[in-house]
Amino acid sequence: MPVPVAASLRTCRERRRLTTTLQRRSVGFLTVAASIPQIAVGGLTFVPTSDIPNIIDVVRVVCVGGTLAFVASYSIFRLIEGDLNALLRVVSRRSS
């Protein structure tokens, strides 16, 4: 564990709270990223029917872009999750 992190986390409880908080927040951010395409489609329901042909391309771009961004976010999430699990293992070993 890096020295600044080890020095700032004095108790096992603080270390576990840090990893739990980071895991919870990362899941929340992933949920927000996943909802972007659905929000775009949901917003389309508020557009008058006569205007839909004018904006359908924009909605498609937002949906495809949101889906690609979610895939990238999920990949980053998996990397962070692995790092958090490694941190938790180090913290658990140190507290034993």
Which tokens in the block code for residue 23? Answer: 């895991």
From first to last of its 96 residues, the chain has per-residue pLDDT tens of: 455 555 555 666 777 777 778 878 888 888 888 888 788 788 888 889 899 889 889 888 888 888 888 888 889 888 888 888 887 777 666 555
Cα separation, 91 vs 8, whole angstroms: 13
Contact (CB, 8 A) for 41 and 61: no
Cα separation, 67 vs 76, whole angstroms: 14
Using alpha carbons, select from 94, 90, 91 the residue that is nearest to residue 16. Answer: 91
Cα separation, 16 vs 58, whole angstroms: 44
The answer to pTM > 0.75 is no
